[in-house]
Structure 1
Amino acid sequence: MRIASRFAVPLLAVSMVCALSAQAQDAAAAQRPEVSAAAEKLQAKVMAWRRDFHQHPELSNREERTAAKVAEHLKALGLKPKTGIAHHGVVAIIKGGKPGPRIALRADMDALPVTERNDLPFASKVTSTYRGETVGVMHACGHDAHTGILMGVAEALVTMQADLPGEVMLIFQPAEEGAPTGEEGGASLMLKEGLFKDFKPEAVFGLHVFSSIPAGQIGVRQGPLMAASDRFAIKVIGRQTHGSRPWGGIDPIVAAADLIGSAQTVVSRRTDIAKLPAVVTFGAIKGGIRYNIIPDDVELVGTIRTFDEGMRQKIFADLKNVSEHVAAAHGAKVVAEVPDQPGNPATINNPELTARMLPSLQAAAGKENVIEPPLQMGAEDFSFYALEVPSMFFFVGSTAKGIDPATAPSNHSPQFMLDESSLDLGFRSLMQVALDYLHGGKS
């Protein structure tokens, strides 16, 4: 109910802030001179940090080296970072020399179980263990860039601390990609452990480098931006028998195949996708070991993506219902965990805050380079912060000019290639947003 109510308000509010948005576009300010000066001074540092993190990636809830590097940098700036939040989270407060609002800036630090296929001098050669298998590890989503950018922003804000109005919380978050099975992590665990207990910001800002947008552009939209993400696990239980006599057992492979096919109707025939998009995807199938043995069981795992809480809950129920009845039609049993653990709610940008900060993004990138992207089926646990306080999340284009973003290797690809000019734009945009909000006070 909490998510549903938060969703409904922004949808109604979008139309109410259209006039604000138009005014904001007409009032796009120039980039602050202190932002330009800081960007030029820190550009090489941000790039070096990003490359170092890229070469030494760490999986979710395993970000020990990354967190240590971040904490070391913050201490060198004279800050007093708190470490060990949600396992490896690092948080520090910059207290300005003048009274003003409180805001938070967030960067995520974890990498993915992906083997890099880029020819870079700082390409990852790291391996680790994931779900019991040896895997390559790569910053295939760009969190190395986010971490480097926020480290740069921290240094820039500290240099102007005496004249800074208000306070800034720096959130270096682990496990955005999701904690390993059986563990907690990410934004939800940071909040659970009291992130906002003693410091409640009035606004939270975050960014994400994005392959679907060309370098030099920023993507932002009011209201819903990214989908809710939920995992499911379905186990179809049959009875093992010889492959030559399937009538001697119950074939869970055939039942699972039928289940997968029927599950496609959950979206195509049972969900009102004219209202908002939804996705049900099976990502892995595991069952059997030999060509002439029908196994006892088959395991299926996948993801559900939605924007509306009512649709989200209905898809949970429909997928479980299809699983149970299709399995029963084959004489099989099923254990359907839909979802199998708490997921991420939809990422929803506060409409008024987004309209207010639009001129800041336009100042950083140029008015013509700030676009409104379509709804994204990808998910972000930044959404948990947005449930607590007004928030704005935006995309920074990361695909080099001359390459079609529609065909460029996407985030999570082993060939994801960050155009490093996005580091500079990410730094400038986050700095501009932070300073404009701090100097502007409450709306």
Structure 2
Amino acid sequence: MKPFQLSCVFTSLLLCSPISFADWINTAVEKNEAQTIQLRHHIHQHPELGNMEFQTSKLVQQQLKSYGIEVKTGFAKTGVIGVLKGKKSGPTMALRADMDALPIEEKTQLAFASKTKAIYQGKEVPVMHACGHDAHTAMLLGAAKVLAENRDKLAGTVMFIFQPAEEGGADVDNFTQGAEIGSRKMITDGALKNPKPEVIFGLHVMAGMPSNNLFYKEGVMLNSADHLRIQVNGKQVHGSMPWDGRDPIYAASQMINNLQSLISRRSNLTQGMGVISIGSFQAGTTGNVIPEQVNMVGTIRSNNEDIRQNLLKNIPIMLEHNALANDVQAKVEIAAYAPVTSNNPTLTRLMQPTLKQVAGEDKLHVLAHNASASEDFSYYGQLMPSLFVFLGATPPSQKMDQAAPNHNPYFSVDDATLKTGVELHIRFIQDYPKFANQIQSQSTASK
């Protein structure tokens, strides 16, 4: 919403102001836009991998303290919580940003492009903010600054959650130690206990969507994600005499095919969808030897919890029986990453005018279906009503289908979109208290 003139009516009781009370948000966001962009450039140029965001965490703490916001640490290794109490009574609300980067070499040629290298899983790798978490951190800091400067207008308490390792940890086995990083670790370390928020909001910049445009939907917003690791052990033999061995490659190839039948024949696809993909297949060293072992790694996705649980239950059973039929052994491991990310329907509907006010009617879009990727923001949504929104990151002058996607060496975020993210955070906090009782009553009744 842009500043607008009010028709002033002078009476003995009232003298109208030429600018509406709510427009302080626009003025404050524009005033701080340059600093938000500067912060984003600095974070982008100095990316840090998951669980290793020490300097980013230090920067966040310094900024929050400079705004007069209470800072709490000791969560998920590098996580930071900022707590801001408004001058008016009201609910406790949370805003979340992730801070970690990815093991990708940047090729954008930006003036502030990353040249950083770091250790990932024991190996030195290039590091890049290829998913926009630099923008997320900068936007939340921008919102924190504006809200702190205007705490007299704030009803309730705001928690600013700066979370590490949304993309996984650089220093842990993400398969076996997934619960020790990211949002799950923030939660188990007590980040949401004192104070305890009753609602949480998040956003994510997306390439291929025009800058300053917002995208949302009720219900499922992102798929679940679970990791799959399979080891097939047979008996090594010369390739010319397969009958004297037990071929794990042949058995593994059957397993890959049969896994798909769990989707097409064993899942109720009227409820949603599911995907099982094997992305890594490692076996053997030469063409004339049937190896002893095959190792496969894959991912399991769904937008429906019943379908997800059906797959998690039946994948090990199918693979073990497949192994038995081929006289080999199969070791099957499944590790959870994230449940379905789902927007609370009542919260989404009541906050729709807020989204419209920020983006304008022509830049607000309802998604026809959920996105296929996943987010550990979903764990917060299991504890309280939540709303997760996409923010376009590609300049409108660029063809959307030609924009480098998230997790790509050429991925970039248009600085012009940051002000929309900052404003959205602020208006979430300003508008939610008006609907808090209604949303909490609905949430309690649905449990």
Do the structures match in fold with TM over 0.5?
A: yes
CA distance in 1, matches of 2:253, 2:400: 35
Q: Match of 1:282?
A: 278
Using the TM superposition, give the Cα deviation of residue 244 of structure 1 relative to its aligned residue in structure 2, in angstroms.
4.3
Determine whether 1:265 maps to 2:261.
yes
Q: Which residue of 1 aligns with 2:361?
A: 367
Is 2:160 aligned against 1:170? yes
Give the match for residue 300 of structure 2.
Answer: 304
Residue aligning to 1:356: 350
Query: TM-score, normalising length from structure 2?
Result: 0.87
Find out whether 1:429 has 2:419 as its counterpart: no
* Counterpart selection for 1:211 from 207, 211, 216: 207
Deviations 1:98-154 (A, max 9, x none): 212211111011111222221212222222333344332211111111000001011
TM-score w.r.t. the length of structure 1 is: 0.88
User: Where in structure 2 are the equivalents of 1:33-112 lying within 5 Å?
Assistant: 33-112=23-102
1:183-218 Cα offsets, whole Å, 9 max, x none, are 311111111111222212221111000124222210
**Matches of 1:49 and 1:403 in 2, distance apart?**
25
1:4 matched residue in structure 2: none
Change (3 A) 1:385 1:235: same
Report the alpha carbon displacement of residue 275 of structure 1 after superposing the two structures with TM.
2.5
User: How has the CA–CA distance of structure 1 residues 125 and 202 changed in structure 2, closer, same or farther, with 3 Å as cutoff?
Assistant: same
Q: Distance in 1 between matches of 2:282 and 2:115?
A: 28
Is 1:378 paired with 2:368? no
Distance 1:49 1:240 in 2: 57
Report 1 or 2 for greater relative contact order, CA contacts < 8 Å, sequence distance ≥ 6. Answer: 1
**Is this contact kept in 1: 2:350–2:435, CA < 8 A?**
no
| TM-fit CA distance, 1:432 | 1.6
- How many pairs were matched up? 412
Of 139-148 and 432-441, the range deviating more from structure 2: 432-441
Which of 113, 123, 127 is residue 117 of structure 2 equivalent to? 127
Q: Which has the larger radius of gyration?
A: 2
Q: 1:96 to 1:287 in 2, by over 3 A?
A: same
Partners of 1:149 and 1:51 in 2: how far apart?
12
Alignment of 1:126-145 (within 5 A): 126-145=116-135
State the alpha-carbon separation in 1 of the partners of residues 244 and 119 from structure 2: 39
Change (3 A) 1:259 1:172: same
- Cα shift at 1:231: 0.7
Distance (whole Å) between structure 1 residues aligned to residue 314 and residue 400 of structure 2: 35
Distance 1:120 1:242 in 2: 54
Residues 197-236 of structure 1 aligned to structure 2 (within 5 Å)? 197-236=193-232
Change (3 A) 1:197 1:314: same
Distance 1:267 1:162, change over 3 A: same
Structure 2 distance, partners of 1:137, 1:295, is 36
Contact 1:31–1:363 (CA under 8 A) maintained in structure 2: no
Alignment check: 8 A CA contact 1:281 1:302 kept: yes
- Separation (CA, whole Å) in 1 of partners of 2:437 and 2:105: 45
Q: Deviations over 1:288-320 (max 9, x none)?
A: 234443322111111111122221111123322
Contact 1:278 1:307 (C-alpha < 8 Å) held by counterparts: yes
Amino acid at match of 1:323: L
Q: C-alpha displacement at 1:400, in angstroms?
A: 2.0
**Aligned counterpart in structure 2 of residue 255 of structure 1, from 251, 255, 272:** 251
Instruction: Kindly indicate whether residue 414 of structure 2 is the aligned counterpart of residue 408 of structure 1.
Output: no
Match of 2:143 among 144, 153, 160: 153
CA displacement, residues 131-183 of structure 1 (integer Å, 9 cap, x when unaligned): 34433221111111100000101111110123322110110011112344143
Instruction: Name the amino acid aligned to 2:340.
Output: A
Structure 2 partner of 1:25: none
Q: Secondary structure at the match of 1:99?
A: strand
| Contact 2:239 2:288 survives alignment (8 Å) | yes
1:134 & 1:260 partners in 2: Cα distance? 32
Q: Is the 8 A contact 1:232 1:301 kept in 2?
A: yes
- Residue 379 of structure 1, CA deviation: 0.9
**Structure 1 residue 441: deviation in Å?**
5.3
Query: Per the alignment, do residues 31 and 421 of structure 1 end up closer, same or farther by CA in structure 2, a change over 3 Å counting?
Result: farther
> Residues 241 and 194 of structure 1: is their aligned pair in 2 closer, same or farther, counting only changes over 3 Å?
same
Q: Is the 8 A contact 1:288 1:295 kept in 2?
A: yes
Change (3 A) 1:402 1:322: farther
Deviates more, 1:312-321 or 1:288-297: 288-297
| 1:237-263 alpha-carbon deviations (Å, 9 max, x no partner) | 112233444334222222222221222
The SS at the match of 1:343 is strand
Please state how far the C-alpha of 1:234 moved relative to its aligned partner: 0.6
Residue 397 in 1 paired to residue 392 in 2? yes
d(CA) in 1 for partners of 2:434 and 2:33? 24
CA shift, 1:31, in A, is: 10
Work out whether residues 31 and 432 of structure 1, in 8 Å CA contact, stay in contact via their aligned partners in 2. Answer: no
* Structure 2 unpaired stretches of 5+: 1-19, 439-447
- Tell me which residue corresponds to 2:341: 347
1:326 to 319, 322, 329: 322
Question: Structure 1 residue 407: deviation in Å?
Answer: 4.3
Unmatched segments (≥5 aa) in structure 1:
1-29
Instruction: Determine if contact 1:101/1:442 at 8 Å carries over to the other structure.
Output: no
Deviates more, 1:241-250 or 1:158-167: 241-250
Q: Give 1:409 shift.
A: 2.1
